[in-house]
Amino acid sequence: MKQFVSFVKKEFHHILRDKRTLFILLGMPIVQILIFGFALTNEVKNSQIAIFDQSNDVATQALRSELNASRYFDVVKDIHSYPEIEAAFKRGTIKLAVVFPENFANDLDHFNTAQVQLIADASDPNVANTLTNYATAIILDYQDRITNSRRLPYTINTEMRMLYNPQLKGAYSFVPGVMAMVLMLVCTLMTAITIVREKELGTMEIMLVSPMQPFKIVVAKAVPYLLLSIVNITSILLLSVFVLDVPVNGSLLLLILESILFTLTCLAFGLLISTKTDSQQTAMFIALTGMFLPTIMLSGFMFPIENMPLPLRVISNIVPAKWYYYIVKEVMIKGLGITAVWKETLILVGMLLFLLVLSIRNFKIRLA
Amino acid sequence: MASVVANNLTKQYGKKKDLVQALKGVSFEVEKGELFGIIGPDGAGKTSLFRILTTLLLPDGGAASVDGLDVVKDFKAIRQRVGYMPGRFSLYQDLTIEENLEFFATIFNTTIQENYDLIKDIYSQIEPFKDRRAGKLSGGMKQKLALSCALIHKPSVLFLDEPTTGVDAVSRKEFWEMLRSLKEQGITILVSTPYMDEASLCDRVALIQNGTILSVNTPDGVIASYKHPLVAVKDDNMLQLLNLLQQYEGGLDAYPFGEYHHVVLKDGYTTASVTTYLQEQQLDHVNVHSIRADIEDCFIALMKTESHEHK
């Protein structure tokens, strides 16, 4: 036991003395949460639009101020001809152009119908889609108000409720994603590297010719990173609750326990990598391609898994982050308990055991 | 009882195409409390041999034991009792001297205080710098620290793989003095080195080349086994001289040796016959004198015979 404690102490010395790495390890989650929270977001806000108003009447004026008042749009430009629209798009100054034909209000009043054209920059199809949807919604809203007096014979009213995330905030989905990513990075990458480093430096050679059991060496290496991960989980949760207003709806204890389970799975994976590689570069490369990329692409955090072709959907099942991401969403955002995530938890436990057994069996008690 | 026994050890690396035979049937015995040198050029198989004896590698054939324990079966027990210092400096560079020593003491279930006597002579030299990180030490200091760490658990057998490679002459001398005093404490020491001049400092030496042991003997025994007359020759133009000497019919071998060329003579030839030969070649004032072979001459001779037998 004294051996073990001494080894863990030594590992902490390594980590604490490498100030740069420590800074990255502890700073990374904070920076990521802040970047995802404030800079990188797929919510559309304050898009610059132009209006080509050939009618310039009561109705178009009203619509224009409605558009401008919404938080999605900023009217930055008035346009007076079609070629100007094209030019503005090419310059990239606007994302959407709204064209009112002549006699807009007149047509609306007398023929009960009028047309408005929305031209969007579809070089980014998602944004173009979102923008035209928002604009259409605002225009329909205006139409509803003016037809209120004149009752239509049949109407169907759609009533929408966005559950768990009524404000449709992106933070609700990326906080779990960032948690998965950070834990993965710290645990898998760092454990793999730290063990391989001992091989590279030759200290593993001495450690092997010592009474310390190889298994203890490995566990002792993992302990500091487990603690570091708990610090990271705490800082991510604090930031998301107090800075991004993402609440922890479910049990905090369950959330932390699940995070520790995921951390252990990542540690076991890092361990497995370290048993198979002899240089830090290889270890880093394998950890990044084998764990980091799948975590980003196949966990459902960036791209919805449901939309993927079957082979990718099948592969996504072996990515631990997919299950962890799901669990965090259920527990943190939906506020569900263990009854809702026991299956996913079992899968993670299974993965942990599998990786652990595999890496212990692969751990070399000799040099070759 | 012999402390270390190697019996026909073989080890090879690589697959069929680029197969390297690192050890080709190595056998020797080291007595308890002996300072045993394994001497040979780079690539001779020294490190492979040490790794097999320290249980880090499995031999492909043959058997070996340390303290009567089999290196394959009883590897755990061997790891409890040997000290090992690999060729490369292998301590934690970001820990201080004291932290390194303390760490290794704990790993081997002991404390610095318990065995301080053993390492006192060595450690006291670096103790003034105990708060300095190991990565910032000079070569000689690193080596003293590594030796202290390998000794801290009072091993019964100490394996030192090329401890003096890359260390300055003064530190090398100091290091060998330390080994002699460790030997007094009854520790069996196996040390490998590519420097032949260090052979005379061992109790017995094994000369290894291309994975084969050429001879195991005491340094004096090695010298005594040298049978041919040997002369040292010196002139202004050493290169021309060497060419001439290598063509000399009475010579078995001629090679540069420090500021002289050494010429191994066939039986019956003497210093005088060399002088006569050189005078015939219009070299009149050459310094030629007979010398006693030292250990390096013996090894050069042994290596030559070995490689001739292979051809």
Whether pLDDT at A191 is above 80 = yes
| Closest by Cα among B156, B38, B39 to B108 | B156
> Average of pLDDT values for B50-68?
93
pLDDT attached to residue B145 = 92
Q: Find, in chain A, the residue whose alpha carbon is nearest to that of B146.
A: A206
Residue-level pLDDT at B304: 81
Q: How many domains does chain A have?
A: 2
A349 is a domain residue: yes
More confident residue, A43 or B297: B297
Higher pLDDT, residue A132 or B282: A132
In this prediction, the answer to ipTM > 0.85 reads: no
Residue B5 reports pLDDT greater than 90 = yes
Separation in Å, CA of B290 to nearest CA in chain A: 47
- Main-chain phi, psi angles of B51, to 5 degrees: -70, -35
Identify all chain B residues contacting A15, using CB atoms and an 8 Å cutoff. none
Q: Which of A117-131, B55-69, B232-246 has the highest mean pLDDT?
A: B55-69
> Do residue A143 and residue A216 come from a single domain?
no
Please report whether residue A238 resides in a domain.
yes
* Whole-angstrom distance, CA of residue B311 vs CA of residue B306: 9
Residues A32 and A57 in one domain: no
Q: Among A2, A202, A211, whose Cβ lies nearest the Cβ of B86?
A: A202
B23 phi/psi in degrees, rounded to 5: -130, 130
| Confidence band of A150 (pLDDT split at 50, 70, 90) | low
Contacts of B94 in chain A (CB under 8 A): 13-14, 17-18
* Domains assigned to chain B: 2-223 (3.40.50.300), 227-292 (3.30.70.100)
* Nearest residue of chain B to residue A217 (CA atoms): B107
Res B99: pLDDT: 93
Please, which residues bridge with residue B2 across strands? B31
pLDDT band with cut points at 50, 70 and 90 for residue A293: confident
Q: List the alpha helices (DSSP H) in chain A.
A: 2-17, 19-34, 58-69, 82-91, 104-111, 125-147, 171-184, 190-201, 203-208, 214-242, 252-276, 280-287, 293-298, 310-316, 320-328, 338-362
Q: Based on the domain organization, do A232 and A296 belong to the same domain?
A: yes
Phi and psi at residue B88, to the nearest 5° = -85, 150
Q: B58–A212: do the CB atoms touch at under 8 Å? A: no
A1 lies in a domain?
no
Q: Point out the residue among B56, B91, B95 whose CB comes nearest to the CB of A208.
A: B56
**Cα three-residue angle A325-A331-A336, rounded to 5 degrees:** 135
pLDDT of A41 above 70: no
Chains A, B: CB contacts under 8 A, how many?
A: 76
Q: Burial letters for B126-154: b for 16+ Cβ neighbours within 10 Å, e otherwise?
A: beebeeebbeebeebbbbbbbbbbbbbbb
pLDDT above 90 (res B28):
yes
**Quick one: pLDDT band at residue A325, thresholds 50, 70, 90?**
very high
* pLDDT for A151: 63
**A74 in the same domain as A141:** yes
Residue B21, classed as helix, strand or coil, is strand
- Distance set, CA A226 to CA A219, A232, A236, B51 (Å): 10, 10, 15, 34
Residue of A nearest to B103 (CA): A6
- For residues A253 and A355, state if they share a domain: yes
* Closest in A14, A209, A366 to B82, CB measured: A209
Q: Determine the average pLDDT of the residues in A68-91.
A: 89
Could you tell me which chain A residue has the CA closest to the CA of B110? Answer: A3
Whether residue A157 lies inside any domain: the answer is no
Which residue bears the tokens 């890092």? A270
Instruction: Judge whether A153 lies within some domain.
Output: no
**A299 within domain boundaries:** yes
Please report the pLDDT score of residue A108 as a whole number: 84
Determine how many CB atoms are found less than 10 A away from the CB of residue B183. 17
Q: How far apart are CA B160 and CA B50, in angstroms?
A: 8
Mean pLDDT of B294-311: 77
Q: Nearest 5°: CA angle at A69, between A67 and A72?
A: 65
Inspect the interface and report whether the beta carbons of B56 and A202 lie closer than 8 Å: no
The answer to whether residue A2 is domain-embedded is no
A206 contact B CB<8A: yes
Does the pLDDT of residue B311 top 60, yes or no?
no
Same domain as A81, residue A31: no
Per-residue pLDDT of B193-251, as tens digits, reads 988 888 889 999 999 988 999 889 999 898 888 888 888 988 888 888 888 888 888 88
Contact B56 A203 (CB under 8 A): no
A347/A245 same-domain check: yes
pLDDT for the residue B2:
87
Given an 8 Å threshold on Cβ–Cβ distance, is A201 in contact with B93?
A: yes
Cβ separation A365–B75 shorter than 8 A: yes
Using the predicted structure, report yes or no on whether residue A288 has a pLDDT greater than 60. yes
Point out which residues pair with A100 in neighbouring strands.
A53
In-domain check, residue A66: yes
Interface test with A, best of B20, B49, B52, B106 (most A CBs within 10 A): B106
Give the confidence band of A256 by pLDDT, cuts at 50, 70, 90.
very high
pLDDT in tens, B115-166: 888 888 888 889 999 999 998 988 888 888 999 999 999 999 999 999 988 8
| A107: CATH | 3.40.1710.10
Q: Quick one: pLDDT at residue B34?
A: 93
Between residues 12 and 41 of chain A, which touch chain B (CB distance below 8 Å)? 13-14, 17-18
Pairing relationship of beta strands B35-39 and B188-193 according to DSSP bridges: parallel
Residue A297 CA to residue B222 CA, distance in Å, equals 69
B289 pLDDT more than 80: yes
Could you tell me which of A128, A145, A137 has the C-alpha nearest to residue A62? A145
Tell whether A19 and A63 lie within a shared domain. no
Q: Are residues A63 and A17 in the same domain?
A: no
Compare all CA atoms of chain A with the CA of B78 and give the residue at the minimum distance. Answer: A209
Q: Is B181 on the interface with A (CB under 8 A)?
A: no
Are A344 and A244 members of one domain? yes
Residue A51 domain boundaries: 47-147
What integer pLDDT is reported at residue A157 of this predicted model?
A: 74
Q: Among residues of chain A, what percentage have pLDDT more than 90?
A: 32
Same domain, A260 and A295: yes
Statement to judge: residues A102 and A121 lie in one domain: yes
